Amino acid sequence: MNKLSRRDFLKGAGMSAAGLALAACGGKVTSPTAEPGSSTSIPNIAAPTIAVPTIAVPKDVTLEIYDYDPTGTDYWVQADKNFGEYFKEKYPHIKVNRTLAPWTGYTEKFLTSVAGGAKYDVIYGWGGWRSLFIENNAIQPLDDVVKADTTIDLSGFFDSAKEIVDGKLYGISWAHMPDFIWYNKTKTKVANTPDPRTLAMNGQWDWDALYAFAKALSKTQADGPTYGFSFVEMGTGEAMSTYSVMLESLGGKLWSDDFKQSLINSPENVQFWDFMQKFFKEGLSPKPGSGGGLDPNVGFPGQRVTGFITGPWNIRTAMQDKWTANFDIGFAPLPKGSAGMFHTVYLNSYYLSHDTDKLDAAWTWYKERSFSNAANTFYLPVGTGRFPVRKDIAPQKEFDWEDTDIYNLIRPTMVSYKSSPKETEFSALFKTAFDEMVLGTRPIQTILDQLAKDGTALVAG
């Protein structure tokens, strides 16, 4: 709106400055008369009423946030502090109370608190807790609030950042991070083997290239073996999501669409287990119990493993433990297969409480904390910011050795992992079968046939 000058205002009101001054002094303001000789008098014209807009002053409101307690992770604590100060300055009428709970026992503490009468407006979440929160009617979908918000266009967010259940949107992630391959660039140069990053940027990074890389970098030495690549993490029982996208690159699936039948014994699964078994048989990967990617002695930090799979959350670990003082670190995406390249995205979203009666303020905080430019910057040290949920924000890096070209290559290949109804129980069965595959006690087809049978029975029961 253009601001009226005092002169414009007076002109619009039909009064001269002199007339206004006279009225102010108690004098009488008369209408002008016709000039001498004129037969027509100028009629009185009432000054128009000027409507002065009322500017609504936001009412003070206090939000109750049930949040994760990052105590012990200094850069996360600092990020929360920075964001809190930013939000307070921008929205002085919104006070924020945070009830903090540690990761262990988080859901139990939260649901017990709610059962005891506590009310919250926004709740920190994780994909593994979402179903429990929905079942307990603790959170609400975002569809209506997003639809009513003219500043939000969901097409501007990556689909992998949206937590959708039964067609309803429950969360837009703030932590949107995939697994990818880390490798020792120093060793790769010494071995004069093709560089995974270069192969990836040229579209030549596939499963055969990974095998050739592992073969070239594996050695038996007097002080112990070195391994080209670690597959041992796939057998932890906690890697189902990463396994699923590796399988998807070959065109395979873990489950039927309705989660009523395990497809773990499909030809694509057998093919991939055969591929992994070669790494263990040929000494290209450490075996379960002998260390893995993060092991400081046998693993990647100790330079016994040349390549392994992890995510951006370990970038800060690499700096704190001074990995880069000993060797250069390179990044590469997961290899592409016959069906393409895929990366599982790990999501942490906040949820709107089902019981909030401060929806406007709660949604304001939610947006700022989840996908504002400020939050993207404040939480970069936590591992976020490398893969922003908004398409219009470019990947950021915190340290010079990070690789935003690889981040950009990975971004459009990120997919959400949909866990089975019996995820924990099936993961335990998967781990047992994986260990058996490593030892080679039975043919892989036989192992997977049994796993498929047990998995199907598990979800049916």
pLDDT digits (tens, 9 = 90+) for 99-155: 999 999 999 999 999 999 999 999 999 888 998 999 999 999 999 999 999 999 999
Do 453 and 361 share a structural domain? no
Do 163 and 237 share a structural domain? no
What are the C-alpha distances in Å from 443 to residues 73, 106, 252, 270?
A: 45, 41, 20, 10
Domain contains 359: yes
Do 358 and 339 share a structural domain? no
Letter for the amino acid at 327? Answer: F
Do 80 and 183 share a structural domain? no
Do 224 and 144 share a structural domain? no
Do 436 and 327 share a structural domain? yes
Do 435 and 302 share a structural domain? yes
Domain contains 387: no
Can you spell out the DSSP letters for 375-404?
A: HHHHTGGGTTTSS-SBTTS----SSTT--H
What three-state secondary structure class fits 158? coil
Residues 53-79, mean pLDDT to the nearest whole number: 88
Cα gap 319→397, rounded to integer Å: 13
CATH number at residue 430: 3.40.190.10
Residues 177-194, mean pLDDT to the nearest whole number: 95
Domain contains 392: no
Phi, psi of 159, rounded to the nearest 5 degrees: -60, -30
Do 269 and 186 share a structural domain? yes
Domain contains 391: no
Overall domain count for the chain: 2
pLDDT in tens, 232-268: 989 886 788 899 999 999 999 999 999 999 999 999 9
Can you spell out the DSSP letters for 110-148?
A: HHHHHHTT---SEEE--HHHHHHHHHTT-EE-SHHHHHH
Domain contains 149: yes
Is the CB of residue 124 less than 8 Å from the CB of residue 102? no
Can you spell out the DSSP letters for 226-267?
A: EBS---GGGGSSS-HHHHHHHHHTTT--SB-TTSSSB-TTSH
pLDDT in tens, 255-301: 999 999 999 999 999 999 999 999 999 999 999 887 778 888 889 99
Domain contains 357: yes
Read off the pTM: 0.82
Do 363 and 310 share a structural domain? no
Do 80 and 199 share a structural domain? no
What are the C-alpha distances in Å from 408 to residues 339, 369, 386, 393?
A: 20, 23, 9, 11
Domain limits for position 248: 178-345+419-460
Can you spell out the DSSP letters for 289-301?
A: TS--TT-TTTSTT
Closest CA to 93 of 124, 63, 55, 67: 63
Domain contains 455: yes
Do 337 and 198 share a structural domain? yes
- The more confidently predicted of residues 383 and 183 is 183
What three-state secondary structure class fits 62? strand
